[in-house]
Every structure is written in structure tokens, then in C-alpha cells.
Amino acid sequence: MSLLIRISFIAACVALVVFDLHMINTYFVNVPILDNWSFLELYEKVHNNTATFWDFTHRHNEHRIVTLRLIFAPLALLTGWDLTYEAYAIIIALVIMFIALIKITFYQQSNYQSNTLTILAPLSALVTGAFLFSNIQYGSVLFPINLLWYIIISSASIGIFLFVWPNERLRLLRFSLAAAVCLVATYSAASGMSVWLALLPSVFVFARKSKYKIHWIASWLILFAVSSAVYLIGYENPGGHPNVMAALYDPLSAIRYFLILLGRPLAPWGTIPPMLVIGGILTAAYLYFTIAYIRHFGTRLSDQYAPWLSLGLVALFYAFLVTIGRMGAGEESAITSDRYMATTMLLAISLTHLIRLFVCERRTSSQATAQRHKPAYAIIFVYGILLAHLIDDSVATNKRIEAWSVKTKQYEQCLELLHYAPRSCLREIFPAWRIIKERSLIIERLNFRQFAKNLAFVDPGPEGLHHGHINLGELLTAPISLNKANQFELTGWVVRPSMLKPFMVLFSYGEEHPKFFTSTRVGTKISARVGTEIIPNLTASKWGYSPWSVKIHEKNLPDGKHIIRAWIYDREGQRFVKLSGEIPIIVSN
């Protein structure tokens, strides 16, 4: 490989990593969401030196997330629970995995001495990097608890590398290290146990070159059985989860769910039919290479295929386990849970390399020069199409990431206003909103963050128009009657740019002591038409507005006459600022 290709390849790899780091630095919001709240009691115990073995090993949903707790606890105490560092840990796991797969790729390609084939190694590695560092993974990368899935797939990649690396010395050390990373995977999540089995094709390569073949394979299976048995001690299936028997009752739906999971990384924002077709094609292609591996077992071809078959098995086992555990929630869960793509993308990555090896083997076995070049050119074309497709998906994802960032900024503001925020707002951060209230005390004791207190409520009068407005409507001549049969939608806007940087609007009732009963996030769309007839002395070229809307339900309000007011939070001034306009209502439940 020429120096120019090497430099270009290294630059492209660095750019991929920088791209993900930029995504974190630009869009990540330091706010704990959902499962992040489950770690706080552990953090306090570690801080007070009262943590026990059980605190690290007890079950979380279906998983024993020992590895995650061992990483998160010191990281939280060192950084003041800055979740950004947990997101950076995901990038570190991806980089480690990427390096392991690159090493396998270039070692394998060294067996094929040809100028035409040389370019296939960096190209396939770049496709791998495009999958790993694509922003279609934002739902996993920007939600740090998903580090557990990246620990599993990076552990699997390291284990594969250790087994297939051509170093006949230190066999016991390589075997022991591979077993160690599989233990890490096992105690990261329940699906980590399947990594032991997924690595079997690579274990066969490792064992075949030794005179103690049976011993190595038997030892591996025994370690798998022991680690799994220990994992399952005291294990109970968590309640409130989908029925794990649903796949047996409806096998056709289970197959559909399975294929959707596998096809989604190549059609992340599409509909179910394309995902099904792509998942079916990927699975069929994998079966083809598996049959080729079995037919040529013990040859160079099977040794070359083994690491990528292992990588694909990680995805297949994971998709199978997710199908068993989540199919009962319906197909919608397969296309809305972004975290699944972090592992299922491995099938597409493995096939990228299996096709490369297929072309290389055909190229070297072909006699006619013209025929020898055609497969190589074809695969280069396919890689180009695949890269273009990933770039196109990446561009389409940008708006989703921006919307995610705005939504999480609302969560951040909602959490800061913990003592004022309505339940509906807190439930978006964690459904059991009372747990947020309880564990906020731990946050304050550990000095992780402070919550707003003793805030003033300020009515700026006509100046309120400089911040936003409630659309009253021309027909509002009397109080609105609100009951179960008569709910209504309230709309308005906030002015941007604004020194207050509002991400949410809160709605209150009550005179002397306003109480917030609901909230809504500010829209991302900014219109440039705020005329001087609305805000005097301002020009549309410098100001715009962002819309908001909220549904007002009677269940959120007590009976009687009330005045609904809209407020935004002024962090700098430690106050709530009222928007222009008020809505009189009469509630009757």
C-alpha cells in the first residue's frame, strides 16, 4: 500500500472519530434520563465507603451491569456526575473496537499480493468506521447508559483479534485475555453471555493450530458454562416486561421482528418493509458464507472467514435475544429503540469483510486476467455505493439530532426547576417522578448539581412581548369552560434570540402563589416575521420567534375559576418571566 493511501486512510479514520466527538460536544446535554437515575444510591455508598459486593452485582432489569457500575461510579465522583465523560467512554470503546478490526483486516489482506486488491483493505475498514462512527448511532452515543452495549461489542472484537492474530507464542496468555474480555461482556448485560458462543469460529482457528485442539475448545465451553451459571445465581425475570413466550406463540411475527432488527442499520429512518427486505438479504448472505466456512473447514478460507463470522454471530445472537425479550411489545419497539442498532450493525460490518475475502479468493484462483479484475472492481463499486448511502443517512439524521438536543435541553431546564416543575415534565425524565424528588437529595448531598430555589415571579407588563405571547384569539370574550368533554389547545410563541434562552414554557394557575400544572418545549423552527406592530422598535431582520403549543386538560387543574399564565425561566435573574396574555377558564370535573 502506497504512502499516499496510508496517509489518506489515517486521516479518514481520524476524521471519523473527530466527527463523533463533534457530535457530543455540539449536541450532548448533561442531564440524567431514565436509567441514569438508578446509579445514584451506588454513588453515595461508594462516596461514603459503604458499598458492598451486592451493590455492584445485583440485577438491573434483565442485566447484571457490573462493568458499567465499576466504570460509572468513580467517573461520577471524579467529575461531579458530568455525563459528558460517560459519552466520551463510548467513543473510547468504539476506537478500541475499530483498531482491533483494522488490524484483522490488514493482516488478512497481506495474504493477497495484488495492487488491485490492496485498496480493498482500507476501503472495507473505512466502511466499518462509517458504521461505527455514523451519527445514525446518536440515540446510543448521546445516551451514556448505552455504553454497556459498546463494551460488549468492543470486548467481542478484542476477543476475536486475540484468537486469530498469527502469533503462535503466548497462546495461554491470548486465551486467558480472550476469556477475560468475554467475562467483561457477560457482566455488562445479559446478551454478553452469547459472546462466548459467537467467538467459537475464531476459537476453532486458534485451536486448530495447536496439538491440544480439544482441550482449548472444551476449556472455552466450560468457562462459558461456569460464567453463565454464576450469572444466573438468584436471577429472576423482572416483572412488567413483555411476555418472553410471545415468540413461540407467533413464530412468523418473531421472524419479522428479528429481520427488522437486522435490517434497520441500513434503513434507519425508513418503514418496516425495507427493513424486512434488507434484514432478509443480510441473513441469507451470512448463511451463504457460513455454509462456505463449513465446507472449507480447516483451510485458509475458513480461517479467513472465521473472525467475521464471529462478529456477525454477535449481532445474530443479540437480535435473537431481543426478539425473545421484546417482541411482545410489538414491531414498533424494533424501529423506535435506537440502542439496538449499536449491536445489529455488526452483521452488515461482517458481511462487508466476508464479501471482500470472497472477492480476494476468487481473484487469486481465477486464471484469466480480465476475469480476475472484475470482482475487485465490482466490490469497489459496492463499497462506494454503501459509503454514499451511509453519508446520505447521516445527512438525514442531522435534524433528528437537533430535535433530540432541544428536547434534552428542556429536560435539563425541567430538572433545574425540580421544585417548581409540573409532574408531566418530570415524567419525561423518569416515569416514576417521585424517585427524581427522592434522589435529588443524593444529588445535593454529593454536590453534583444545584436546583433552583426561591425564584421570583415577574410580570414585565407590556415588556412581556419582548419575551413571548399567548395567542388569545379573536373570539375570546368570556372564560373558557373546561371539562372532560371540552379540552383545548393553547398556542403562542417566544422571541428569539433572547438572553433568557427559553427551551420550555411553563403554565400556571393561582394568583398569590402560582402553581405550574403543565409545560411544553419551545419549537425548533424560527420564523423571521415579528413585525413592529407586535413589538415596536424591533426589526424582523434581527428577531424571530419560535412557536409552542400545549393541550390543556381538566385533570391537571382543580375545579373553579382560574387564570392561565405562561412563563419562561430566567436563569441569570433567578426568576420566572411572564409572557404577554392570560386565559381565563372555568374548570368543572
For residue 580, the 8-state DSSP code is: E
Instruction: Tell which residue, 562, 540, 566, 586, has the closest CA to residue 471.
Output: 566
**Per-residue model confidence (pLDDT) at position 238:** 64
Long-range contacts of 269-277 (CB under 8 A, 24+ apart): 269/393, 269/396, 269/397, 269/400, 272/331, 272/335, 275/335
If phi > 0 it is left, if psi is from -120 to 50 it is alpha, else beta; for residue 153 that is alpha
Q: Kindly report the backbone phi and psi dihedral angles of residue 369, in degrees, each rounded to the nearest multiple of 5, phi listed first.
A: -60, -45
Which residues lie closer than 8 Å to 384 by C-beta, 6 or more apart? none
Q: What per-residue confidence (pLDDT) applies to 385? A: 72
What is the enclosing helix (H) or strand (E) of 122?
helix 120-132
Answer for the pair 552, 489: CB distance below 8 angstroms, yes or no: yes
Q: What is the pLDDT of residues 203-241, one digit of tens each?
A: 998 888 777 888 999 999 999 999 989 888 877 766 666
Per-residue confidence (pLDDT) for residue 46, from 0 to 100: 92
Query: What are the pLDDT digits (tens) for 51-68?
Result: 888 888 887 777 888 999
Query: How many other CB atoms sit within 10 Å of the CB of residue 515?
Result: 13
C-alpha cell at position 190: 445479559
The pLDDT assigned to 563 comes to: 85
Nearest one of 24, 235, 14 to 126, comparing CA atoms: 14
Q: What is the pLDDT of residue 72?
A: 93
Residue 252, H or E segment: helix 251-263
Q: Report how far apart, in Å, the C-alpha atoms of 459 and of each of 456, 575, 578 are.
A: 10, 10, 5
Distance separating the N- and C-terminal Cα atoms of the chain: 76
User: Which residues are within 8 A (CB) of 53 and not within 5 positions of it... i.e. 6 or more apart?
Assistant: none
More confident residue, 482 or 31: 31
Separation between Cα atoms, residue 158 and residue 171, nearest integer Å: 15
- Higher pLDDT among residues 146 and 540, named by residue: 146
Question: To the nearest whole number, what is the mean pLDDT of the chain?
Answer: 82
The answer to whether the CB of 286 falls within 8 A of the CB of 320 is no
Residue 153: what pLDDT? Answer: 95
**Among 21, 22, 23, CA closest to 405:** 23
CB atoms < 10 A from the CB of 425, how many? 24
Of 476, 430, 455, 482, the C-alpha closest to 569 is 455
Beta-bridge partner residues of 481: 586
pLDDT at 531: 37
Whether the pLDDT of residue 139 is over 90: the answer is no
pTM for this one? 0.86
Q: Which three cell numbers stand for residue 385?
A: 455505493
- At residue 82, the pLDDT reads 92
Taking CA 488 as the corner, what is the angle to CA 486 and CA 492, rounded to the nearest 5 degrees?
A: 165
Ordered domains of the chain (ranges, CATH): 3-31+83-411 (no CATH), 454-587 (2.60.40.10)
Burial (Cβ within 10 Å: 0-12, 13-18, ≥19) of residue 334: buried
Per-residue pLDDT tens for 64-118? 889 999 999 999 999 999 999 999 999 999 999 999 999 999 888 777 666 556 7
For residue 242, the model assigns a pLDDT of 63
CA-to-CA distance for 401 and 406, rounded, in angstroms? 9
pLDDT at 291 over 70: yes
Q: How far is CA 504 from each of CA 415, 448, 509, 555, rounded to the nearest angstrom? A: 12, 23, 17, 21
Distance CA 512, CA 326 (A): 49
SS3 state of residue 516:
strand
Cell triple for 267: 434503513
The length of the chain is 589
Mean pLDDT of 189-202: 92
DSSP string, 544-571: EEEEEEEEE-GGGS-SEEEEEEEEEEET
The arithmetic mean of pLDDT across residues 411-436, rounded, is 87
% of the chain surpassing 70 pLDDT: 85
The alpha carbon of residue 252 and the mean position of all alpha carbons in its chain are separated, in whole angstroms, by 28
Paired residues of 482 in beta bridges: 587
Q: Find, among 530, 525, 506, the residue nearest to 517 by Cα.
A: 506
Instruction: Decide if 174 contacts 167 (C-beta within 8 A).
Output: yes
Summarised one tens digit per residue, pLDDT across range 535-561 is 444 443 344 567 788 888 777 788 888
Whether the pLDDT of residue 465 is over 60: the answer is no
Percent of the chain with pLDDT over 90: 27
pLDDT top residue among 409 and 268: 409
Work out the burial of residue 382: count CB atoms within 10 Å of its CB; fewer than 13 is exposed, 13-18 middle, 19 or more buried: middle
Query: Span 169-196, mean pLDDT?
Result: 91
Q: Residue 445 is placed in which grid cell?
A: 448531598
